[in-house]
């Protein structure tokens, strides 16, 4: 009997990470998830069990290189897929009002965290076996995002790292791609304290007149990790309801 494939997902306890864990579990993967909480989201654990799999959870801060290195060292196994999902939005402020500590924190998590996860995860990714890295970037990594300088800068960096790693590791059979979601209905948006009028304006400005769902983004992530995208690397799959087509 073939052994199960293995996926590592950061930011697994909510939003896109949560939905991604479920779709991989449904497809028969062993799911290794990390987040900042002491324990895994209980509802996620239960849902994964009902799908016939288990969530192997570890508390890990992706912005801490020592913790990331220790996490991968504790796996004692190769992995097939790495999903770099953990990230934060930060405050909505113009650049001249933007706190330096907030700017640095966002880059530490959204940029350094993706770098650390990939740097220490690469030795555990199977070579020449169709393994994949999928980074969660954003449409803010493709175009500017007013009043979100740190977030936009961080996601542009993720897009750049994605393309660079795709070139560096193509010959080793490791594909590297990114998803670039538009506005998505997740706790990150809920916790951003955006007023209702602003949210309504964001939806109105999207051709499909709604936010994306976490499950829709997770489906894109799974596609980029699966054999269905075996000739795809260095690409950014935009999932934005037509926002950047305007």
Residues forming the active site: 151
* Cβ atoms of residues 29 and 100 within 8 Å: no
Q: What residues have CB less than 8 Å from 206, skipping those under 6 apart?
A: 182, 183, 240, 241, 242, 243
According to DSSP, the β-strands at 30-35 and 175-181 are: unpaired
Task: Count CB neighbours of 205 within 10 A.
Answer: 13
Rg of the chain over Cα atoms, rounded to whole angstroms, equals 17
- Rounded Cα distance between 229 and 175, Å, is 9
Task: Give CA angle at 189 (185, 195), nearest 5°.
Answer: 110
Using DSSP, state whether 62 is helix, strand or coil: coil
Residue 185, burial from CB neighbour count under 10 angstroms (0-12, 13-18, 19+):
middle
The number of CA neighbours under 13 Å toward the Cβ of 140 is 20
- Rounded Cα distance between 168 and 209, Å, is 39
Q: What is the DSSP string of 167-185?
A: HHHGGGT-EEEEEEE-SEE
């Amino acid at each position: 009997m073939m052994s199960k494939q293995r996926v590592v997902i950061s930011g697994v306890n909510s939003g896109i990470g949560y939905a991604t864990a479920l779709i991989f579990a449904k497809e028969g993967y062993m799911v290794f998830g990390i987040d900042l909480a002491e324990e895994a989201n209980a509802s996620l654990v239960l849902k994964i069990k009902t799908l016939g799999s288990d969530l192997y959870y570890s508390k890990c801060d992706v912005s801490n290189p020592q913790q990331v290195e220790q996490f991968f060292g504790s796996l004692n196994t190769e992995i097939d897929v790495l999903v770099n999902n953990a990230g934060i939005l930060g405050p909505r402020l113009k650049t001249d009002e933007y706190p330096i500590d907030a700017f640095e924190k966002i880059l530490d998590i959204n940029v350094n965290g993706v770098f650390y996860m990939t740097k220490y995860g690469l030795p555990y990714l199977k070579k020449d076996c169709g393994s994949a890295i999928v980074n969660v970037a954003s449409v803010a990594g493709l175009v500017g995002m007013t009043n979100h300088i740190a977030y936009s800068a961080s996601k542009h960096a993720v897009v750049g790292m994605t393309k660079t790693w795709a070139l560096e590791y193509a010959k080793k059979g490791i594909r590297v791609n990114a998803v670039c979601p538009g506005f998505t209905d997740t706790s990150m948006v809920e916790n951003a304290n955006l007023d209702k009028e602003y949210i309504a304006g964001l939806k109105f400005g999207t051709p499909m007149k709604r936010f994306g769902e976490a499950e829709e983004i997770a489906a894109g992530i799974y596609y980029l990790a699966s054999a269905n995208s075996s000739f795809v690397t260095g690409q950014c799959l935009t999932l934005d309801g037509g926002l950047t087509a305007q």
